[in-house]
Structure 1
Amino acid sequence: MSIFKKILPILLLCSLQACGQIGNHQHKTITQMEYRKISNQKVKDAIEAWQKGKVALWLSFFTADALLLDDGHPRDFNKFSTEAIGHEHFTSVDKVEDNGMSVYGSFHSDTWGDFKTYFKFYLDAAGKFSKLEIGQASY
Structure 2
Amino acid sequence: MTIPVDRLTDPAVRAFVTALNAQDQAAFQEALTPGATMSDDGSDRDLRDWTEREIFSSRGHMEIESEKGDGLDLVARFRNDTWGEMKTRWRFVVDGGKVARFETGQA
TM > 0.5: yes
Match in the other structure for 2:88: 117
For the residue of structure 2 that corresponds to 1:51, the secondary structure is helix
**What one-letter code is carried by the residue in structure 1 that aligns with 2:10?**
N
Matched, 1:96 2:67: yes
Check the 8 A contact 2:12/2:97 in 1, yes or no: no
What is the TM-score with the length of structure 2 in the denominator? 0.85
Give me the identity figure in percent.
Answer: 27
User: 5 Å matches for 1:1-139?
Assistant: 34-86=4-56, 87-90=59-62, 92-124=63-95, 126-137=96-107
Q: Gaps (5+ residues) in structure 1?
A: 1-32
Aligned CA-pair RMSD:
1.7
Equivalent pairs counted in the alignment come to 103
Whose strand proportion is higher, 1 or 2? 2
**What one-letter code is carried by the residue in structure 1 that aligns with 2:60?**
E
Instruction: Report Cα offsets for 1:42-81 as digits up to 9, x if no partner.
Output: 2112101100000111111112211111011010011112
What is the TM-score with the length of structure 1 in the denominator? 0.67
Structure number with greater Rg is 1
| Structure with more contact order per residue of length (Cα contacts < 8 Å, sep ≥ 6) | 2
Q: Distance in 1 between matches of 2:32 and 2:38?
A: 11
For the residue of structure 1 that corresponds to 2:5, the secondary structure is coil
Check the 8 A contact 2:36/2:100 in 1, yes or no: yes
